Structure 1
Amino acid sequence: MTQAMQSQDPLKPGYPFNAHLVAGITPIVKGGELDFWIDRPNGLKGYIINMTVSGAGLVFPGTDQERTVAKGDMMILPASAVHDYGRHPDYHNWYHRWIYFRPRATWHDWLDWTDKHMNVGFLSLSKQPSDVEANVIDGLFQNVEQNSKRQSILSEELSLNLLEQILIRCRELDHSKPMEPIDARILRACQFIHDNIASELTIDELAQVACMSQSRFSHLFKQQKNVSVRQWIEDQRIALARQLLITTDLAINQVAQYLGYQDALYFSRVFKKNLGESPREFRQSQR
């Protein structure tokens, strides 16, 4: 198989992982074609969430952070985290489901698992009282993979929705991490942003909606959402832009105006900064 062909297969070396979401299962068998070590010292641009369904893998071998992942064990590898894993030498196989994705800003808290080693999060579903959660999450992984391969303008959105369910369930099962409810004032401001997404929103205006001082509002917003107010507004606009580019025939400048960007070139620069491609390139890739 040539390198060019290999680069089209996410299970083989050389795959660029430049999509927003890719999913699959890696069936590693001792001595088989896929029985090689994953060594990415600089990680990837996006995240990978991984669930072992058979056999076992070994992570960070030969270090004080070495971990074995067996059936029901999960990993989440953030962007740029070191990838150093493969089939455990004491096991004949390692089958693991995985999803590569670019996270939404609202997911930040769900991506930060308590049990971390070298910035990689670990969660064991086998320690739960029953197999129900493991079976549900396994089914969601399969649904993400199936939907990510469909030729539909909304297949990626549906896949992201299913992935969100996986992340929320994992967050619920991470019992060592306390749940922090979102302050009602921040929720009110977020709803105001959604209702006025095309407006020139200011911190002062949002602070008034939340009945707080500007400094207190900005601090509490970042504390609860893990991103600044400005970044959160931008993330919401880009998320809506993606939907409009996929589901409508609006021109790029019309999409920009709909979202409150008076300068279409500036909108294109912001879009490319967030997603790595221009609005036009993104639209073409979805057809």
Structure 2
Amino acid sequence: MTQAMPNTDPLKPGYPFNAHLVAGITPIVKDGELDFWIDRPSGLKGYIINITVSGGGLVFPNTENERTVTKGDMMIIPTGAVHDYGRHPDYHNWYHRWVFFRPRATWYEWLDWTDKCSNVGFLSPRKQKSEGLISTIDELFQSIDNTCHQNSMLSEELSLNLLEQILIRCRVLDNSKPMSPIDPRILRACQFIHENIARELSIDELAQVACMSQSRFSHLFKKQKDVSVRQWIEDQRIALARQLLITTDLAINQVAQYLGYQDALYFSRVFKKNLGESPREFRQSQR
């Protein structure tokens, strides 16, 4: 019995979305090859952000959360959120640019948009008469699409940098959401973590760096970063591991030791849990 080949086209059903960042444009035309409904009741293991460039789409049809998106409208779908959208029947087409990504730990505040339905965020720059900003954001989407398809060791890092610019601009547009400055004590602890990423860091030690009690530090850190201290440290280690695997020829066990993992097998399990592939598979896919 012939085994079916895995789908490598992100525009077709069954694509696994196990990369760290994938980008493209979906050109849906009525009765065309891509004119089907996207229905993922369990969502994906990452985020998707998109912007409509022409036509219109329909999200959560026949429900109280039904939304129409047209040119300039943006949508962000978090990890695990239901996907239920397609071309709006009143429009002949729906072209939308999109980026699938695993967020950096420092991005989480920018991913929580004020206008949400079923955990999916919506943003309409055109309603704020921000045509210039729409154009800038659209160009950034195009740059990500072009950059992530280049055979460069740093193409993914450049793509993530461009995506960060999009998220910051969206945060500026989402002006109904008050800015919450990061407490300098938490910033001090984060800097300490970066400077000692290979060490085993205890909550007690980090709380002392922040001049706070352990319980107060843990609570405030989670409130300001949207993740626990332990998860944030793990996210930073995985982010650095990705850079080392892409930009150096260090062996897997050397990368693990550099990041403070004494057991290379345990490091591989943590890496795969976060990115969906082992460090070796990740390095091979990037090269």
TM-score by length of 2: 0.95
- 2:279 aligned residue: 279
Q: Distance in 2 between matches of 1:22 and 1:126?
A: 26
Q: Does the residue aligned with 1:232 lie in a helix, a strand or coil?
A: helix
Paired residues of 1:6 and 1:12 also in contact (CA < 8 A):
no
Q: How does 1:248-287 map to 2 (within 5 A)?
A: 248-287=248-287
Tell me by how many angstroms 1:6 deviates: 8.3
Task: In structure 2, give the amino acid aligned to 1:114.
Answer: T
Distance 2:125 2:42 in 1: 28
2:75 corresponds to which letter in structure 1? M
What is residue 182 of structure 1 aligned with on the other side?
A: 182
The CA distance in 1 between the partners of 2:132 and 2:5, in whole Å, is: 39
Structure 1: state its 5+ residue gaps: none
Contact 1:81 1:119 in 2 (8 A): yes
Size of the alignment, in residue pairs?
285
Q: Provide the aligned C-alpha RMSD in A.
A: 1.5
1:48–1:98 Cα contact (<8 Å) kept: yes
Structure 1 residue 150 displacement after superposition: 0.7
CA distance in structure 2 between the aligned counterparts of 1:48 and 1:4, rounded to whole angstroms: 27
Look up the equivalent residue of 1:136 and give its one-letter code. Answer: T
Q: CA deviation at 1:63?
A: 1.0
Q: Deviations over 1:58-113 (max 9, x none)?
A: 11111111110011101111122111111111111111111111112221111111
| SS of equivalent residue, structure 2 residue 96 | strand
Deviation at 1:148, TM superposition (A): 0.9
Unaligned runs of 5+ in 2: none
Task: Read off the aligned partner of 1:150 and give its amino acid letter.
Answer: Q
1:1-287 aligned at under 5 Å gives the runs 7-287=7-287
Q: Verify the 8 A CA contact 1:6 1:13 in the aligned structure 2.
A: no
Q: CA separation in 2, counterparts of 1:122 and 1:277?
A: 31
Task: Give the AA of the match of 1:122.
Answer: F
**1:136 and 1:252, CA in 2 relative to 1: closer, same or farther beyond 3 A?**
same
Q: Distance in 2 between matches of 1:130 and 1:232?
A: 34
| Shift, 1:129, TM fit | 3.0
Equivalent residues of 2:204, 2:214 under 8 A apart: yes
Helix, strand or coil: the match of 1:222? Answer: helix
TM-score by length of 1: 0.95
Q: In structure 2, what is the Cα distance between the partners aligned to 1:163 and 1:150?
A: 16
Which letter does structure 1 place at the counterpart of 2:255?
Answer: V
Map Cα deviations across residues 201-225 of structure 1 (whole Å, 9 max, x no partner).
1111111111111111111111111
> Runs in 1 of length 4+ with deviation above 3 angstroms?
3-6
